[in-house]
């Protein structure tokens, strides 16, 4: 009788053997879901192998209960991706596999399809011509639905529900009116009326070049770094390549960093390819919607799968192209459970499938930049803005040591805002509020506390009045005076401000101000609303955090002011400069996109800092070179490969104790360094104490081999009350 080797969602790094329930099992069943007894329960897992032998003695082997044949088995490529993630991130295979499946397919019941979820809604001809003012203004939901449909042409029931929970009722009423109709999924969306047919732009020289270089290589694996300044038209390059892939009847996977970016991109794709079958996968979907989308991908019916990082685990039997937009974005790295990088997983996947992967960015991550420098990735540049007459904005620094600020604003910023208001143009005030760990800084000479053992900045731990190195574990007491100049004014430095909106309202009582951050956009439909208000010029000044920086196109925006980014210059996180630069390039890139000249003002006490210098010149390469040299000297990535062993426990000593014994059993070969345990900056989080230790090596292979052997020993360590995980290529310390 055949043996099934099954992946189950349990934290053990092994597959489980079962006797096949029937005799018709073949290798074809690899990838199918199977119901098996586990302990006292039944569990659903995935068949990873079918073999003839098991190391489990046969009287102990249990019989699998049932093989699900409700959906096709997972394709080979996806199984290979799961195996890669399990090995590379040192995470139990069963958890990797099961967490990659939609909830509905993890359950112990067979999957039943609901037809309606695949249905979409569109405007009828009457609906398109109708005068919406005959609907009373208080029927807000109806107005929103109609406005949304005029924008994006089709919407699913879930899109509608995101607008309002009352949407289904409103939809039905609009259907009765004859304004809206149901369009079955996979059916061509409302045909584009000829007059409205989209103008396909003539490519710029840079775009033409990029398309011409990639197009002949579309059937081969390569990692392309599409490095294009903000507004250079990367999307148009994607569209041209996707159309080639569509013609070959193959699927494209498009990954974006933010769920907020999916509706706009979806609208762009649908406008260009009116009959496109597109599936959007992100955390905002209901379980059945997600399962339905997943299945359309799995059956090859979905031509484009658009989603956030989780979408990298979608089965795509006819995969032809992968696009990772804003590849530098930290949100591609999962921060708990399986700590995978969706970008890196996408590259593995492309390689395995023999198809190209395109990483798009205005400011590539230093890792990707370095890979392009060394020739592992192929770089294509788009160096000017695509829209005629749209130039990159002028960037100026305002030295706040020379001009005084009042309520965070300097006089030049205030007058620039006034000017914009008078011209009826929009402006954006950008607040950098990321919670960077505080460092100790001397206000008179600029000295910042650094570690004597490695080049890292020391982190202030106020609780026990100590400075700690989060890199190597070194610690020391707070100095009372500056060791450089003797000044007593050494203070923790680095926190954002939230009073900006209020201050603005005082300065400009007549202006329409809109604050955009996680809090103000947390309601489901809030963001779509705000976007519409911005586009329809119902806003004068936008106040926002990084959420605004990403990918949006606001044609009327001409001024960007950046208030408080200095703290990141002195962050203890060695990636802070890189991130700050990317972020500021992106926000700066919001200005002047459609022909109005743009201006960017940065308030800073350090106008001579290389980062601001590079920003003024729009010179990514200059800064990248500086940062790479710093990283090389300090021995940071991309010149070394890192992993963290993270531990959590109710008491910090328990966590540290576990890590200390982990160090004791680590037999690191010469090329692998194991540092001392450190309590995390936010040591107490949700009632548990957190600590970690860093392992690094100049050789990825050696690091991987070490982790493999170490993990087995860690599994054997007593770890009562400790939860630990390995984080490979960590992004947050
Ligand atoms: P990026 O993603 O590179 O920042 P986008 O793809 O958002 O840039 O494009 C910026 C703007 O340029 C968009 O409004 C787009 O419609 C426009 N655009 C792109 N390519 C062209 C082109 N070849 N000619 C004219 N406009 C273009
Ligand atoms: Zn000093
Ligand atoms: Zn150190």
The pLDDT tens digits for 629-640 are 999 998 999 999
* From 386, 552, 589, mutation site for ligand 1 pocket: most ligand atoms within 8 A of C-beta: 386
Strand order in the sheet with 62-63: 62-63, 16-19, 3-7, 41-51, 33-38, 66-67
- Whether ligand 1 lies within 6 angstroms of the CB of 361 is answered as no
CA separation for the pair 543, 531 (Å, rounded) = 13
Task: Please name which ligand lies nearest the alpha carbon of 635.
Answer: 3
| CB within 8 Å of 648: residues ≥ 6 apart | 655, 688, 689, 690, 722, 723, 724
> What is the pLDDT, as a whole number, of residue 518?
63
Whether omega before 638 lies within 30 degrees of 0, making that bond cis, reads: yes
559 in Cβ contact with 530 (< 8 Å): no
- Whether ligand 1 lies within 6 angstroms of the CB of 586 is answered as no
* From 233, 362, 585, mutation site for ligand 1 pocket: most ligand atoms within 8 A of C-beta: 233
CA separation for the pair 321, 299 (Å, rounded) = 17
Give the number of other Cβ atoms within 10 Å of residue 17's Cβ. Answer: 21
CA separation for the pair 360, 192 (Å, rounded) = 29
Q: Which residue has the tokens 């003797």?
A: 486
CA separation for the pair 84, 81 (Å, rounded) = 5
The phi, psi pair for 442, rounded to 5°, reads: -90, 120
More confident of the two residues 261 and 351 = 351
Provide the pLDDT confidence category of residue 4 given band limits of 50, 70 and 90: very high
The alpha carbon of 452 and the centre of ligand 3 are apart by a number of angstroms equal to: 6
pLDDT at 500 over 80: no
Please measure the distance between the N-terminal and C-terminal CA atoms of the chain and give it in whole angstroms.
50
Lowest mean pLDDT among 323-327, 385-389, 605-609: 385-389
The alpha carbon of 231 and the centre of ligand 1 are apart by a number of angstroms equal to: 6
The alpha carbon of 157 and the centre of ligand 2 are apart by a number of angstroms equal to: 61
What string of DSSP letters covers 547-577? Answer: GGTSS---TTEEEEEE---HHHHT-SSTTHH
Lowest mean pLDDT among 334-343, 583-592, 600-609, 651-660: 583-592
- Whether ligand 1 lies within 6 angstroms of the CB of 45 is answered as no
Q: Which residue has the tokens 């490695």?
A: 454
- Whether ligand 1 lies within 6 angstroms of the CB of 363 is answered as no
The alpha carbon of 458 and the centre of ligand 3 are apart by a number of angstroms equal to: 8
According to the per-residue pLDDT averaged within each range, which of 196-210, 509-523, 678-692, 701-715 is highest? 701-715
β 62-63/16-19 pair status: parallel
470 in Cβ contact with 461 (< 8 Å): no
Q: Whose CA is nearest to atom 10 of ligand 1?
A: 231
Strand intervals (E) in 583-652: 599-604, 641-649
CA separation for the pair 55, 229 (Å, rounded) = 57
Provide the pLDDT confidence category of residue 30 given band limits of 50, 70 and 90: very high
> What is the share, in percent, of the chain residues with pLDDT greater than 90?
51
Would you report the helix, strand and coil content of the chain in percent, each value rounded to 5? Answer: 35, 25, 40
The alpha carbon of 94 and the centre of ligand 3 are apart by a number of angstroms equal to: 37
**Inter-CA distances, 294 with 99, 321, 518, 628, Å:** 14, 17, 28, 40
> What is the pLDDT, as a whole number, of residue 316?
96
> What is the share, in percent, of the chain residues with pLDDT greater than 70?
91
More confident of the two residues 295 and 458 = 295
Burial 572-585 (b: 16+ CB within 10 A, else e): bbbbbbbbbbbbbb
The alpha carbon of 204 and the centre of ligand 1 are apart by a number of angstroms equal to: 10
Q: Region 524-550: what's the mean pLDDT? A: 81
Whether omega before 155 lies within 30 degrees of 0, making that bond cis, reads: no
The alpha carbon of 606 and the centre of ligand 3 are apart by a number of angstroms equal to: 25
Assign 391 to helix, strand or coil: coil
72: exposed, middle or buried (C-beta count within 10 Å: 0-12, 13-18, 19+)?
middle
Q: Region 539-558: what's the mean pLDDT? A: 78
Q: Region 316-328: what's the mean pLDDT? A: 96
> What is the pLDDT, as a whole number, of residue 593?
66
Q: Region 339-356: what's the mean pLDDT? A: 97
Lowest mean pLDDT among 129-133, 491-495, 657-661, 727-731: 491-495
Plot region of 465 (φ>0 → left; ψ -120 to 50 → alpha; else → beta) = left
The alpha carbon of 386 and the centre of ligand 1 are apart by a number of angstroms equal to: 5
645: exposed, middle or buried (C-beta count within 10 Å: 0-12, 13-18, 19+)?
buried
Express each pLDDT in 668-705 by its tens digit.
788 999 999 998 866 565 668 889 999 999 999 999 99
Q: Region 227-237: what's the mean pLDDT? A: 93
The phi, psi pair for 198, rounded to 5°, reads: -75, 135
pLDDT at 443 over 80: no
Question: Of the candidates 685, 682, 688, which has an alpha carbon nearest to the alpha carbon of residue 655?
Answer: 688
pLDDT at 401 over 60: yes
β 439-442/490-493 pair status: antiparallel
According to the per-residue pLDDT averaged within each range, which of 252-266, 310-324, 399-413, 681-695 is highest? 310-324
702: exposed, middle or buried (C-beta count within 10 Å: 0-12, 13-18, 19+)?
middle
CA dihedral over 291, 297, 299, 302, signed as positive or negative: positive
> What is the pLDDT, as a whole number, of residue 418?
95
> What is the pLDDT, as a whole number, of residue 170?
87
Q: Region 698-713: what's the mean pLDDT? A: 95
How high does pLDDT run on average in the chain? 87
Residues 653-658: contacts with CB under 8 Å, at least 24 apart: 654/689, 654/721, 654/722, 655/679, 655/689, 655/690, 655/691, 655/722, 656/691, 658/717, 658/719, 658/722, 658/724
Closest ligand 1 atom to Cα of 202: 23
The alpha carbon of 722 and the centre of ligand 3 are apart by a number of angstroms equal to: 25
> What is the pLDDT, as a whole number, of residue 491?
72
According to the per-residue pLDDT averaged within each range, which of 85-94, 153-162, 520-529 is highest? 85-94
> What is the pLDDT, as a whole number, of residue 82?
98
> What is the pLDDT, as a whole number, of residue 436?
43
Strand partners, 455: none
> What is the pLDDT, as a whole number, of residue 711?
93
pLDDT at 192 over 70: no
Express each pLDDT in 117-151 by its tens digit.
456 788 877 788 788 888 888 888 888 888 888 87
Q: Whats the size of the chain, residue-wise?
A: 733
pLDDT at 539 over 80: yes
Q: Region 291-302: what's the mean pLDDT? A: 92
**pTM of the full predicted structure?**
0.81
CA separation for the pair 384, 446 (Å, rounded) = 37
> What is the pLDDT, as a whole number, of residue 190?
44
The alpha carbon of 339 and the centre of ligand 3 are apart by a number of angstroms equal to: 25
Q: Region 43-62: what's the mean pLDDT? A: 92
The alpha carbon of 698 and the centre of ligand 3 are apart by a number of angstroms equal to: 18
- Whether ligand 1 lies within 6 angstroms of the CB of 236 is answered as yes
More confident of the two residues 458 and 349 = 349
Task: Please name which ligand lies nearest the alpha carbon of 482.
Answer: 2
Task: Please name which ligand lies nearest the alpha carbon of 440.
Answer: 2
The alpha carbon of residue 147 and the mean position of all alpha carbons in its chain are separated, in whole angstroms, by 29
> What is the pLDDT, as a whole number, of residue 164?
83
Task: Please name which ligand lies nearest the alpha carbon of 550.
Answer: 1
* From 210, 239, 387, mutation site for ligand 1 pocket: most ligand atoms within 8 A of C-beta: 387
According to the per-residue pLDDT averaged within each range, which of 188-197, 306-315, 483-492, 567-576 is highest? 306-315
* From 212, 235, 391, mutation site for ligand 1 pocket: most ligand atoms within 8 A of C-beta: 235
CA separation for the pair 409, 502 (Å, rounded) = 12
- Whether ligand 1 lies within 6 angstroms of the CB of 300 is answered as no
Q: Which residue has the tokens 């604050």?
A: 515
Question: Of the candidates 437, 487, 432, which has an alpha carbon nearest to the alpha carbon of residue 462?
Answer: 437
Task: Please name which ligand lies nearest the alpha carbon of 443.
Answer: 2
> What is the pLDDT, as a whole number, of residue 156?
81
Q: Which helix (H) or strand (E) holds 692?
A: strand 688-697
Lowest mean pLDDT among 201-205, 228-232, 444-448, 475-479: 444-448
The phi, psi pair for 193, rounded to 5°, reads: -60, 140
Give the number of other Cβ atoms within 10 Å of residue 191's Cβ. Answer: 9
> What is the pLDDT, as a whole number, of residue 180?
86
> What is the pLDDT, as a whole number, of residue 198?
66
Closest ligand 1 atom to Cα of 388: 25
pLDDT at 595 over 70: no
- Whether ligand 1 lies within 6 angstroms of the CB of 233 is answered as yes
Provide the pLDDT confidence category of residue 589 given band limits of 50, 70 and 90: confident
Assign 389 to helix, strand or coil: coil
Q: Region 555-567: what's the mean pLDDT? A: 84
Assign 690 to helix, strand or coil: strand
> What is the pLDDT, as a whole number, of residue 495?
40
The phi, psi pair for 92, rounded to 5°, reads: -55, 130
Provide the pLDDT confidence category of residue 433 given band limits of 50, 70 and 90: low
Strand partners, 599: 394, 559
Provide the pLDDT confidence category of residue 594 given band limits of 50, 70 and 90: low
| CB within 8 Å of 361: residues ≥ 6 apart | 225, 226, 227, 228, 326, 327, 328, 368, 582
The alpha carbon of residue 73 and the mean position of all alpha carbons in its chain are separated, in whole angstroms, by 28
Provide the pLDDT confidence category of residue 519 given band limits of 50, 70 and 90: low
More confident of the two residues 26 and 270 = 270
Closest ligand 1 atom to Cα of 207: 23
Task: Please name which ligand lies nearest the alpha carbon of 447.
Answer: 2
């Amino acid at each position: 009788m055949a043996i099934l080797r099954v992946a189950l969602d349990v934290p053990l790094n092994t597959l489980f053997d079962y006797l096949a329930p029937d005799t018709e099992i073949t290798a074809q069943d690899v990838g199918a879901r199977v119901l098996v007894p586990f302990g006292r329960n039944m569990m659903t897992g995935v068949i990873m192998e079918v073999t003839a032998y098991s190391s489990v003695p046969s009287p102990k082997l249990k019989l699998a209960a049932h093989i699900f044949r409700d959906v096709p088995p997972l394709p080979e490529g996806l199984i290979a991706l799961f195996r890669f993630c399990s090995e590379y991130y040192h995470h139990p295979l069963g958890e990797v596999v099961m967490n990659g499946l939609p909830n509905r397919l993890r359950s112990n019941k067979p999957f039943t399809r609901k037809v309606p979820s695949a249905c979409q809604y569109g405007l009828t001809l009457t609906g398109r011509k109708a005068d919406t003012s005959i609907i009373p203004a208080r029927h807000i939901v109806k107005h929103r639905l109609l406005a949304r449909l005029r924008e994006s042409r089709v919407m699913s029931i879930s899109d509608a529900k995101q607008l309002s929970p009352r949407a289904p009722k409103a939809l039905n009423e609009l259907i009765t009116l004859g304004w809206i109709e149901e369009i079955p999924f996979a059916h061509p969306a409302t045909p584009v009326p000829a007059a409205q047919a989209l103008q396909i732009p003539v490519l710029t020289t840079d775009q033409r070049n990029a398309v011409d270089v990639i197009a002949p290589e579309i059937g081969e694996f390569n990692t392309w770094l599409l490095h294009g300044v903000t507004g250079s038209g990367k999307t148009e390059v994607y569209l041209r390549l996707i159309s080639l892939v569509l013609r070959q009847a193959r699927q494209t996977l498009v990954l974006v960093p933010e769920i907020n970016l999916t509706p706009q991109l979806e609208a762009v794709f649908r406008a260009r390819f009116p009959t496109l079958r597109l599936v959007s996968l992100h955390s905002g979907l209901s379980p059945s919607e997600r399962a339905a989308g997943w299945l359309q991908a799995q059956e090859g019916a979905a031509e484009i799968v658009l989603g956030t990082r989780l979408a990298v685990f979608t089965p795509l039997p006819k995969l032809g192209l992968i696009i990772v937009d804003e590849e530098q974005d930290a949100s591609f790295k999962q921060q708990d459970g399986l700590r995978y990088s969706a970008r890196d997983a996408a590259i593995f996947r492309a390689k395995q499938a023999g198809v190209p992967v395109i990483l798009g960015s205005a400011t590539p991550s230093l890792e990707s930049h370095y890979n392009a420098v060394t020739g592992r990735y192929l770089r294509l540049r788009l160096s000017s803005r695509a829209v005629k007459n749209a130039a990159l904005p002028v960037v100026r620094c305002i030295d706040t040591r020379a001009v005084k600020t009042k309520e965070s604003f300097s006089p030049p910023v205030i007058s620039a805002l006034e000017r914009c208001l008078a011209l009826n143009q929009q402006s954006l005030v950008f607040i950098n509020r990321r919670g960077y760990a505080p460092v100790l800084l001397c206000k008179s000479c600029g000295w910042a506390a650094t570690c004597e053992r490695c080049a890292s900045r020391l982190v202030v731990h106020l609780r026990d009045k100590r400075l700690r190195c989060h890199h190597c574990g070194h610690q020391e007491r707070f100095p009372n005076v500056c060791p450089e100049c003797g000044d007593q004014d050494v203070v923790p430095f680095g926190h954002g401000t939230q009073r900006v909106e209020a201050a603005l309202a005082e300065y400009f009582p007549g202006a329409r101000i809109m604050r955009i951050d996680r809090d103000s956009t947390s309601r489901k439909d809030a963001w779509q609303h705000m976007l519409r208000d911005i586009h329809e010029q119902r806003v004068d000044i936008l106040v926002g955090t990084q959420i605004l920086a990403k990918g949006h196109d606001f044609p009327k925006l001409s001024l960007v002011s950046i208030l408080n980014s200095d703290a990141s210059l002195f962050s203890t996180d060695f990636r802070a400069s890189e991130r700050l630069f990317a972020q500021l390039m992106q926000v700066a890139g919001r200005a002047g996109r459609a022909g109005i000249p743009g201006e960017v003002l940065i308030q800073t006490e350090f106008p001579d800092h290389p980062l601001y210098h590079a920003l003024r010149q729009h010179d990514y390469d200059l800064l990248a070179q500086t940062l790479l040299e710093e990283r090389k000297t300090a021995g940071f990535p991309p010149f070394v490969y890192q992993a963290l062993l993270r531990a959590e426990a109710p008491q910090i000593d328990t966590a540290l104790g576990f890590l200390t014994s982990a160090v004791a059993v680590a037999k690191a070969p010469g090329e692998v360094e194991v540092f001392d345990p450190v309590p995390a900056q936010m040591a107490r989080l949700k009632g548990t104490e957190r600590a970690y230790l860093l392992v690094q090596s100049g050789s990825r292979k050696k690091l991987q081999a070490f982790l493999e052997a170490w993990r087995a020993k860690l599994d054997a360590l007593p770890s009562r009350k400790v939860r630990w995980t390995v984080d490979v290529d960590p992004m947050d310390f």
